[in-house]
């Protein structure tokens, strides 16, 4: 464990130095292809750094924060877009924090408005209204998250601890039961890590972390699940880096409705490839492409759902109880079929046991140093 902690510290020191270089570059190089050329070496380094860590917890979070979030933000930053460009006078400390972590900063409306054809004024108004409603929903969620009671954190911590103890009996469990436990483990662990990170960020920088989840079990459709409730950090970074550029590009050659469907599929393809990469960092095994199939399936189903809703024009809607049951059931069945088995392939349960045991021994050795 000591060696892993040392590697972890070295990686994040290297990340800090790399982002200092990016910060200095932004002061000397104007936006566009030239700045992108200067930032590409850092993007490549960020793809390499997670290979220096091997644990699920430290390595997995490092890969997610720098390979996905930081790299995508740097690509946007090269063209003076995204959260890193929201404040030209941002300090170095805030620049590093925003680059690495899911920190919410209010952006200028001009940075997020998509140019639309002149003959689509009604569609533009509807789109802006939808975007505003979505933003208001996120803002309300941020408010609710900041007001969570200590009991909320205690309950999540106890739930996670109980899950860890249940793993002691994993040899008597059906593999599908283990997959369910992994799903809850990921949910509680991410919530605890991000809630604590949010508290630290709020205290030291006065900034808010973007919410990670918004009660995904209440999703009434795949659009609702992927766009407004699940993994909102990823949604917020994929929208400006993949969805919007694809939408703008294809609007020039096909009708806007078809361009939107293409942009949706492109977003799911990129998300699939990034998930495959993250799982490679976790297990160091070549992909078997089940996760790619999972996201392609959900992308196609979301497109079908979008087309069906457009054709019905609100004339028919399922009761929320039924739509929620169908949505959550579809997500869970496809996850157990294609997504969660990758955790078994990574030996997640056995490695988590080893890591928690190693962490306990590490903390015990540290305590002996300070308390003879």
How far is residue 198's CA from residue 211's CA, in Å, rounded to a whole number?
9
Residue 366 has which token pair?
A: 């540290």
Beta bridge partners of 103: 209
Instruction: Tell me the pTM.
Output: 0.81
Which tens digits make up the pLDDT trace of 78-135? Answer: 999 988 887 778 889 889 988 988 776 544 444 444 344 444 444 444 544 454 455 4
Which tens digits make up the pLDDT trace of 72-92? Answer: 999 999 999 988 887 778 889
User: What was the pLDDT predicted at 86?
Assistant: 79
Which tens digits make up the pLDDT trace of 222-250? Answer: 999 999 988 888 888 999 999 999 999 99
Segment 239-267 mean pLDDT:
93
Residue 200 has which token pair?
A: 């630290």
The SS3 assignment for 104 reads strand
User: What was the pLDDT predicted at 83?
Assistant: 87
**What ranges do the domains of the chain cover?**
1-101
User: What was the pLDDT predicted at 334?
Assistant: 94
Residue 253 has which token pair?
A: 């050659």
How far is residue 242's CA from residue 359's CA, in Å, rounded to a whole number?
39
User: What was the pLDDT predicted at 108?
Assistant: 44
- Which has more confidence, 369 or 13? 13
pLDDT at position 208 over 50: yes
- In DSSP notation, 36-81 reads HHHHHHHHHHHHHGGGG---HHHHHHHIIIIIIIIHHHHHHHHTT-
Q: Among 88-92, 142-146, 339-343, where is mean pLDDT lowest? A: 142-146
């Amino acid at each position: 464990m000591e060696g892993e902690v040392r590697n972890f510290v070295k990686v994040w020191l290297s990340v800090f130095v790399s982002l200092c270089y990016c910060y200095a570059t932004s002061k000397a190089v104007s936006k566009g292809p030239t700045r992108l050329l200067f930032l590409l070496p850092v993007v490549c380094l960020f793809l390499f750094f997670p290979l220096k860590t091997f644990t699920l917890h430290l390595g997995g979070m490092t890969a997610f924060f720098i390979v996905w979030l930081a790299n995508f933000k740097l690509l946007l930053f090269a063209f003076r877009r995204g959260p890193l460009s929201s404040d030209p006078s941002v300090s170095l400390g805030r620049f590093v924090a925003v680059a690495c972590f899911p920190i919410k900063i209010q952006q200028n409306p001009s940075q997020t408005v998509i140019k639309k054809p002149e003959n689509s004024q009604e569609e533009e108004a509807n789109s802006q209204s939808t975007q505003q409603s979505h933003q208001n929903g996120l803002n309300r969620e941020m408010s609710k998250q900041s007001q969570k009671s200590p009991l909320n954190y205690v309950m999540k911590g106890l739930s996670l601890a109980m899950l860890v103890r249940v793993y002691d009996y994993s040899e008597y469990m059906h593999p599908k039961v283990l997959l369910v436990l992994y799903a809850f483990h990921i949910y509680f662990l991410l919530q605890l890590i991000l809630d604590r990170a949010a508290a630290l960020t709020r205290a030291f920088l006065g900034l808010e972390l973007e919410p990670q989840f918004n009660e995904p079990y209440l999703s009434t459709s795949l659009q609702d699940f992927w766009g407004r409730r699940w993994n909102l950090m990823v949604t917020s970074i994929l929208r400006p880096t993949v969805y919007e550029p694809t939408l703008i590009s294809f609007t020039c050659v096909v009708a806007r409705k078809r361009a939107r469907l293409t942009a949706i599929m492109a977003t799911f393809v990129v998300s699939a490839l990034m998930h495959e990469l993250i799982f490679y960092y976790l297990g160091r095994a070549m992909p078997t492409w089940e996760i790619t199939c999972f996201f392609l399936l959900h992308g196609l189903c979301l497109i079908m759902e979008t087309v069906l809703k457009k054709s019905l024009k609100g004339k028919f809607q399922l009761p929320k109880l039924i739509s929620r049951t169908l949505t959550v059931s579809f997500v869970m069945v496809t996850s157990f079929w294609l997504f969660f088995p990758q955790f078994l392939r990574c030996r997640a349960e056995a490695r988590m046991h080893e890591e928690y045991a190693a962490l306990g021994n590490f903390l015990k050795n540290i305590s002996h140093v300070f308390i003879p």
